[in-house]
Structure 1
């Protein structure tokens, strides 16, 4: 084809692109190329006219680009008195890495953030009024929500004022309250305890109106009587539920000062016993900390109370006449416990009487001749150990609180009695016997960060004494004794989210702690024991991912070595040593509490499954009593347990009675 012909063909083809004589051409690669070049200019600091100072970090950018993406920055730039100079904008409350992610998004339309940074990106997007990014981050958090993080997600959504995410999180909690209530975040929430005395064998109603009335009663207690929410939570609030469906504040009702909250149609009323205080005390305002302070200009109580969140979220009837409720009281996420009691003499806050009948002369074989009595308290996350032929169950939690109480099981009498309570309420810990004494270390008291304190029990004096504190606060650590040393292995970090590699040894003679070699894998809620000169750490979780891996520590060479993994990944399992083998019992696989049991025989170097328990149990107490493995307490996925069952290795059978042990 001649050059003229080719040119003619090109002109003809080009003419189809020129309607009405206008040149129209779209370069599909231009925008991508330009955006990439502008982002490169930003990173190199070329032609930048705005400097973002974020917690000591300086980030360069172009004013026009940021103004297009952020209404907040647009307002700042638009009011700049020197629009042609370099703007400086300072942020002291944002994460520099999160702001860099938003800058990258502004230039590339690509949002890339590690899971740990998503909340920080959300916070920065809220500040910059980048609503689309907020929505994407919120949707991502919702997709990652599970029982372990639902409370922290709700706290975050509440702090951000995101009603959409809050509604979704609250709906999830309503469907999974029992699972959520077992988590550390739930146990650390403030607690309001209401003890309700019941008349004529009445039962508390289990409908939602009950909790709306509770919120109404708390509201009026705060505003009409000048109560303080924190003070109300310091002790059990006693109420009386009468046969005519009235709920009266405990004590005598002062004549002439009785106020009834709630309509007759609800068949449930709260009667306030206290007289109203002076008007200057009744007018209160909310401080930023959530406490109440006087204010002469405060609006009336109903108007003021509406300024902070009051909301019933979810509830569950856990046992007969015991109710668990999650609610927001005056902007504070709280757990509300309602206990229905048939007699005023039984108080949930009362400390059981001390029974010093510790004669460690029991005969474990008599377990095979008697039924197994339940503990007085349902407990999960407890410490358990055999001492002098008896089973000791200490602390733990029961949805209501972490416990100080310690119970002792006498197999000869088939009876649980109380011995001296611990000095500190604690749960999520393990207990070990060393040189004839019980030792507990760390754990959680349900109200503050993980504990570093520990204590030891002397059976001769029936008393607990403090021991030197751990070097690291930790919860869910494993504890065992070996060669007259106490070993504390792994556990949760102070935020309760990641496992630790720490291993420490305590010498009861010198009362000193020494560091041991760290674990190969971070883990908390692992089962820990000693056997044949080694310390074993079994399963657990690295973050919230359950592990089946097992490590063994040789103190002679200060080294941890991985050995054969279990068949089932699990955290919150218990372990007992019998006849040269490790028996690992129950636990939680990330979805369900487990009944399954497996055994490790070091000579074979392998794990095999055994007969399952009669009840699923996570965070139960497990110990060897005589020739029998005993599991006590724990959480079965629905209820906290006070029951006990035993395993006979000779028959490979679990039983809650003696029929299978004959």
Structure 2
């Protein structure tokens, strides 16, 4: 008997229906349209096909690649692996004999972990014993399988407890996983005393400090205290040529003076110290002895990797930042006794600190500055430590200044869009987390309106552009939804102007060309309205307000970068073309300082940019300024106090978590903490 169709005509003139097979089992069909096309989706076909392909792999049939993993040979199909692993795709794509059998060798991966990844590549199912998860993570990192890395990282975090927290941190640090590392550190901060009782913690190297105090003094709060301690250790390594291991061999005696300065206590008492000081909240360093010539040579050669005055100048900012110095957590265990976990020169260490009353021979204040000849022969001023980086590398993020702090929200790191939001305190040179956004998003801009932060549109990395927006209230530390845009919008400019929020330009839903759209949001009526359209289609433009006007700067029309600039007058709802920039750029940042526009970095169609230029509205002209220390496209740029900050972005090779600042008086960019301009209280 032949199969036959039972067809019923629907009310909308489209045909729906069932195909009744001889077995009597109905099979679902999609709509059939009158012109004769048939659309059918077989839900079981994909599962059946991948199962068969995996069976072929395991039997070695039709395989055209062999993975040699620590003496084990694993067969597979190039096309399947290339689709799942960007790393293997690059290898296969560069093969001079694409039709031959490829051999790829890995001597440092676990064969079982690689087999698990192969099964995942064919079945989309990740199955690993808990003992193998770290090995799977390591293999996924090599293969650049970011989704598997994330899943393994989340699994490890779910299994973390006080007993294994140090082990997990060491693993996350070795993998360079900032996301997992930040969560492990947050756990340790909440459970430091319990963690400190575990075997892994007890095996860590430790630095013992005895801090002498005047009778009427107490040690500062944990954060400020250990900021001073870390700086003291840095100076001991960099200026004196000490080794970290030597500092840990015996108890180090320090002195906390009445004017809140931390110095080498033993030498202060003996009267042999020379103190080189700064402001009240900054470290005071005591030079113990003239640096020997042999030590100077050792510092210059930097065989140990420690930074010094002589080799810092030769190091790029990126190289300097690789040596991690980080305060993680501390607890006051007894009266004037503290326990701290920190990273010193890349080494995870425990710091024990005990405060005690100083002998009567202790001075009542820090000795005055007296420069020795040996010190004057060295550079007059040491290069300061790098500004603290964000916990996450971020590109396409939203950035704004709020209540004297710098806010960095969302963005993407490789393929992952972020929800997390970080807050930078310039007084502490420290990043901390605030409430995450409700929606992961990147390629958006952020603005402050009536004391609250607004983010609108962007992309979540998994679907089309977003139309949703949200508002952050710093008083409640909460994000709430705001009415959606009428169209999805990605790479749009956002700015506040006259108590309204403006969204300008952006990408069309297909992401192929820029938009002319301009919309305004009224926070009182909670409604959107249309404004005059731009003269030129733009996406990834920099947008900001200055003296009652709104400026949209550069961007791209399709993929062609623009140097043109438009100015919006809200009084007559018109856009006017003004003088173009010297450099065409998209994905640039903009900040307002002293009545001028500072446009920073971006992408010129070929390269991420370091160059910066400033617009003077009184002259209607642009001029070039000093370049950044690092190329940055899609970075966050904001004005905080009298300082312009550039954070994150993409340098053409890596996603960045670094920070640098601009001093308008010297026309210089700097990535060191000493470059910060103090904020007035």
In 2, the alpha carbon distance for the partners of 1:638 and 1:581 equals 31
Change in CA separation of 1:400 and 1:207 when aligned onto 2, cut-off 3 Å: farther
Give the corresponding residue for 2:657. 642
Give the corresponding residue for 2:141. 323
C-alpha displacement at 1:594, in angstroms?
0.5
Determine if the alignment matches structure 1 residue 521 to structure 2 residue 536: yes
C-alpha displacement at 1:399, in angstroms?
1.0
Change in CA separation of 1:528 and 1:381 when aligned onto 2, cut-off 3 Å: same
In 1, the alpha carbon distance for the partners of 2:526 and 2:655 equals 36
SS of the residue 2:453 aligns to: strand
Which of 90, 94, 99 pairs up with 1:174?
90
Q: Which runs of 5+ in 1 are unaligned?
A: 1-88, 94-162, 178-204, 242-247, 251-268, 272-319, 328-333, 357-364
The answer (yes or no) to whether the contact 1:324–1:335 under 8 Å persists in 2 is no
Which of 569, 576, 580 pairs up with 1:554?
569
Determine if the alignment matches structure 1 residue 442 to structure 2 residue 457: yes
C-alpha displacement at 1:217, in angstroms?
2.1
Structure 1, residues 403-438: CA drift from partner, whole Å, max 9, x if none?
111100011111100010111111111100000000
Which of 619, 627, 649 pairs up with 1:612?
627
In 2, the alpha carbon distance for the partners of 1:366 and 1:573 equals 35
Change in CA separation of 1:500 and 1:413 when aligned onto 2, cut-off 3 Å: same
Determine if the alignment matches structure 1 residue 217 to structure 2 residue 41: no
Give the corresponding residue for 1:472. 487
In 1, the alpha carbon distance for the partners of 2:534 and 2:88 equals 36
C-alpha displacement at 1:323, in angstroms?
3.2
The answer (yes or no) to whether the contact 2:87–2:144 under 8 Å persists in 1 is no
C-alpha displacement at 1:174, in angstroms?
3.1
Which of 385, 407, 419 pairs up with 1:404?
419
SS of the residue 2:461 aligns to: coil
Matches within 5 A, 1:262-661: 323=141, 325=143, 337=149, 343-344=167-168, 348=179, 352=183, 372-659=387-674
Change in CA separation of 1:417 and 1:564 when aligned onto 2, cut-off 3 Å: same
The answer (yes or no) to whether the contact 1:337–1:400 under 8 Å persists in 2 is no
Structure 1, residues 332-361: CA drift from partner, whole Å, max 9, x if none?
xx96648899833658469845999xxxxx
In 2, the alpha carbon distance for the partners of 1:442 and 1:626 equals 28
In 2, the alpha carbon distance for the partners of 1:592 and 1:211 equals 38
Change in CA separation of 1:592 and 1:240 when aligned onto 2, cut-off 3 Å: farther
The answer (yes or no) to whether the contact 2:562–2:586 under 8 Å persists in 1 is yes
Change in CA separation of 1:517 and 1:323 when aligned onto 2, cut-off 3 Å: same
Q: Which runs of 5+ in 2 are unaligned?
A: 1-33, 39-78, 94-103, 157-165, 191-279, 283-382
C-alpha displacement at 1:556, in angstroms?
1.1
In 2, the alpha carbon distance for the partners of 1:443 and 1:612 equals 28
Change in CA separation of 1:172 and 1:617 when aligned onto 2, cut-off 3 Å: farther
- Bigger CA radius of gyration: 1
Give the corresponding residue for 2:29. none
Structure 1, residues 310-332: CA drift from partner, whole Å, max 9, x if none?
xxxxxxxxxx99837468xxxxx
In 2, the alpha carbon distance for the partners of 1:495 and 1:452 equals 14
Change in CA separation of 1:211 and 1:561 when aligned onto 2, cut-off 3 Å: farther
Change in CA separation of 1:380 and 1:373 when aligned onto 2, cut-off 3 Å: same
Give the corresponding residue for 2:220. none
C-alpha displacement at 1:216, in angstroms?
4.2
In 1, the alpha carbon distance for the partners of 2:110 and 2:147 equals 12
The answer (yes or no) to whether the contact 1:366–1:412 under 8 Å persists in 2 is no
The answer (yes or no) to whether the contact 1:431–1:439 under 8 Å persists in 2 is yes
The answer (yes or no) to whether the contact 2:643–2:676 under 8 Å persists in 1 is no
Change in CA separation of 1:459 and 1:322 when aligned onto 2, cut-off 3 Å: farther
The answer (yes or no) to whether the contact 2:661–2:675 under 8 Å persists in 1 is no
Question: How many positions carry a matched residue from both structures?
Answer: 381
C-alpha displacement at 1:270, in angstroms?
7.1
Matches within 5 A, 1:22-37: none
The answer (yes or no) to whether the contact 1:325–1:337 under 8 Å persists in 2 is no
SS of the residue 1:343 aligns to: helix
Structure 1, residues 135-190: CA drift from partner, whole Å, max 9, x if none?
xxxxxxxxxxxxxxxxxxxxxxxxxxxx9xx99xx99973999xxxxxxxxxxxxx
In 2, the alpha carbon distance for the partners of 1:321 and 1:607 equals 50
In 2, the alpha carbon distance for the partners of 1:208 and 1:522 equals 52
Structure 1, residues 531-550: CA drift from partner, whole Å, max 9, x if none?
11111110111111111111
In 2, the alpha carbon distance for the partners of 1:633 and 1:625 equals 16
SS of the residue 2:538 aligns to: coil
The answer (yes or no) to whether the contact 2:116–2:128 under 8 Å persists in 1 is no
C-alpha displacement at 1:215, in angstroms?
6.9
SS of the residue 2:633 aligns to: coil
The answer (yes or no) to whether the contact 1:325–1:336 under 8 Å persists in 2 is no
C-alpha displacement at 1:238, in angstroms?
7.2
In 2, the alpha carbon distance for the partners of 1:643 and 1:238 equals 35
C-alpha displacement at 1:497, in angstroms?
1.7
Change in CA separation of 1:90 and 1:512 when aligned onto 2, cut-off 3 Å: closer
The answer (yes or no) to whether the contact 1:595–1:616 under 8 Å persists in 2 is yes
Change in CA separation of 1:654 and 1:176 when aligned onto 2, cut-off 3 Å: farther
The answer (yes or no) to whether the contact 2:503–2:520 under 8 Å persists in 1 is yes
